[in-house]
Chain A
Amino acid sequence: MFKDIFEQYQWDDVKAGIYSKTAADVEQALHNQRRTLDDFAALISPAAAPYLQPMAEMSHQKTLQRFGNTMQLYIPMYLSNECQNICTYCGFSLDNKIRRKTLSAAEILQETAVIKAMGYDHVLLVTGEAHQLVGLEYFKKTLQLLRPHFSHISMEVQPMDEADYATLIPLGLHAVLVYQETYHQEDYKKHHPKGRKSSFQYRLETPDRLGRAGIHKMGLGVLIGLEDWRTDSFFTALHLQYLEKKYWQTRYSISFPRLRPFSGGLEPKVEMNDRELVQLICAYRLFNQEVELSISTREQESFRDNIIRLGITSMSAGSRTNPGGYAADRQSLEQFEISDERSAAAIADMLKKSGYEPVWKDWDQVLG
């Protein structure tokens, strides 16, 4: 279990180690063919900032070789904003007085029609955490409803038990995204004071449960802005390295959500600027050539246009972050404000002009 490895590390020691990296450490990391976690720590350190250009060039080359001139496209479908958790940074938080909404089967199909018309074949189902209303039974029905319409279905919902995942995978669940939010155990509790999500351990062990259940693909990440992003990213990479060796048949992706404004919002404790996000993306690519790196519509247009060459392999476009946002209930409250408002067609056009093929379909249910 990852917990056993995690407990061998102390947050403050890891942080001090990253911030003490020198230019020589960075140069050694850039020189190495097969990079270690220690090399990753050097590449995300402040000492690596002057090396952004060579890092970007290497990241571009490695990404091109592994993924080619292609960009995977996906779109989120928010099913519900019901939530029994209090999360200090989320618009769906229990203490946030908003109108709550959970899509019915008919509404899900309405959303599906709009999403399919955009060209999408990959959908990411998103909910808050409300076990009674939006639990295993709801997910089973939703997967059965959606499976004929999509080749690839991902979920970003509350962590579940291994048996629940084992039930959903044969119904067409291909990927699960579960972000730790932060690996800072004490501060995790400050950000999640109430609800099931307040259990740091249960969340930390979720990827192990997913791996044992045999999920095809798993998404990891932290919410950038809650804690020191370098230290949090080190722990993410540690987690990734552990999972890849243990659950070797699973594919992995990393996302980089930066805290965005929302209704009743928390100011980020730590700001990450664009240069730092580029550094982090490149560091991940130099550390791991195979991991998929994803960027959402949280980021600004011009930034997204440029970042596609630096290591990113999948992106969302034309997103709505409120349940029913595409057709069923356009006015319900969004989870966070998106920055890139362009349509899927406009993003596809931008990709083509940049020499990339937008890939709408890269999986098929017939493959298992």
Chain B
Amino acid sequence: MTQPLTIAGRTFSSRLFTGTGKFAAASLMEEALLASGSELVTVALKRVDLQQQADDLLRHLHHPHIQLLPNTSGVRTAKEAVYAAQLAREALDTNWIKLEIHPDPRYLMPDPVETLLAATELVKLGFVVLPYIHADPVLCKRLEDAGVAAVMPLGSPIGSNKGLRTADFLDIIIAQSNVPVVVDAGIGAPSHAALAMEMGADAVLVNTALAVAKDPVKMAAAFKAGVAAGRMAYEAGLAPTSAQAIASSPLVAFLDEA
């Protein structure tokens, strides 16, 4: 019913991407992700045992329609990120990487300088790079020039559930981006996700809002519906808004009368 999304040659029918942290159990996470319809699921390298094939988390993500997106959460520098990405590629057999460099462990604010350095290097090494960044329009263009496959600006601080506090900047990013824009971090309600999609974001990534909901499976279904509704509205073309009332029978209509 809505247009599919293509990133680096891979087509997704769902524009809802999901994370795997904070769930009460791996089985519950699996159930929620299946209810979300998500086809791209990010997984923290620090949580999986790269040496062990029978890793519990990975076992629950083993579905043909789900593509894994390993992330580098925990690294503090470009050098560490490149090393981690190379190990992830080898261990998980994917060249897709969600590049996260947040040297600040409190608010997990992404480091723009190190991220640009790492993205440049990883693209050269053949990775499909999806960087998590602040909603910085100039940085997005710099990353696009470096060859990333998408940009992932934050809506508000990660895990905050505060919604699109960076909306003004997301607007600019969406308007001028030549690569898909995935709003990552801060989306706490299906209405936030729907708004991002109505604004023209290509996808959203949600984790905390699902994982800590009273009923994660039901919430995943709600997000699925919210994302679909927002995208459909965007494609349908939202009616313009106006600060003033526009009367259906304008006061000057008599001038046009014969």
Interface set of A (CB-CB < 8 Å, partner B): 64-70, 121, 151, 244, 248-251, 290, 352, 355-357, 359, 361-364, 366-368
Contacts and interface: CB of A to CB of B under 8 A. Distances in A.
Nearest to A121: B49
B23 A367 contact: no
A244 B46 contact: no
B235 interface: no
B115 interface: no
Interface stretch (B103-111, B124-132, B147-155, B222-230): B103-111
Interface stretch (B80-88, B166-174, B196-204): B80-88
A299 to B, nearest CB: 23
A249 B47 contact: no
25 contacts: A65-B159, A65-B160, A67-B22, A68-B21, A68-B24, A69-B211, A69-B212, A244-B106, A249-B104, A249-B105, A250-B105, A357-B23, A357-B26, A361-B47, A361-B48, A362-B46, A362-B47, A363-B46, A364-B45, A364-B84, A366-B83, A367-B46, A367-B84, A368-B75, A368-B83
Contacts of B161: 65
Contacts of B80: 367-368
B76 interface: yes
A20 B22 CA distance: 40
B72 interface: yes
A352 B50 CA distance: 24
> Which 6 A-B pairs rank lowest in CB-CB distance, beginning with the nearest?
A68-B22, A69-B24, A368-B80, A367-B74, A251-B105, A290-B106
Given A355-B24, A367-B46, A248 B106 contact: yes
Contacts of A66: 159
B103 A249 contact: yes
A241 to B, nearest CB: 12
A251 B106 CA distance: 7
Max chain A C-beta neighbours (<10 A), residue from B72, B79, B106, B159 = B106
A121 B57 CA distance: 15
A66 B22 CA distance: 9
Size range of the chain B interface in the assembly = 20 to 34
Contact of A65 (B26, B47, B106, B208): B208
Contacts of B208: 65, 68
B25 interface: yes
A312 to B, nearest CB: 15
B166 to A, nearest CB: 19
Q: Which of A64, A67, A249 counts the most chain B CB atoms within 10 A?
A: A249
A364 B46 contact: yes
Interface of B: 21-26, 45-50, 72, 74-77, 79-80, 83-84, 87, 103-107, 159-161, 208, 211-212
Nearest to A288: B106
A363 to B, nearest CB: 5
A68 B23 contact: yes
B77 A368 contact: yes
A366 B47 contact: no
A244 B211 CA distance: 28
B49 A361 contact: yes
Contacts of B160: 65
A352 B25 contact: yes
A290 B105 CA distance: 8
Contacts of B83: 366, 368
A363 B211 CA distance: 20
B232 to A, nearest CB: 30
Q: Which of A69, A121, A363 has the most CB of B within 10 A?
A: A69
Nearest to B158: A66
Contact of B76 (A249, A356, A359): A249
A67 to B, nearest CB: 7
A185 B74 CA distance: 37
Contacts of A364: 45-46, 50, 74, 84
A121 B103 CA distance: 23
Contact of A367 (B72, B104, B107, B159): B72
Contacts of B26: 357
A69 B28 CA distance: 11
Nearest to B85: A366
A352 B75 CA distance: 29
A367 B45 contact: yes
B46 A65 contact: no
Given A68-B22, A352-B25, 10 more contacts: A68-B211, A69-B25, A69-B212, A363-B46, A363-B74, A366-B50, A367-B45, A368-B75, A368-B77, A368-B84
A357 B25 contact: yes
B167 to A, nearest CB: 21
A66 B49 CA distance: 23
A105 to B, nearest CB: 23
Nearest to B44: A362
Contacts of A68: 21-24, 208, 211-212
A66 B104 CA distance: 15
Nearest to B86: A366
B22 A248 contact: no
A121 B52 CA distance: 13
Nearest to B108: A290
Nearest to A248: B104
Contacts of B47: 359, 361-362
Contacts of A356: 24
A67 B106 CA distance: 12
A359 B50 CA distance: 16
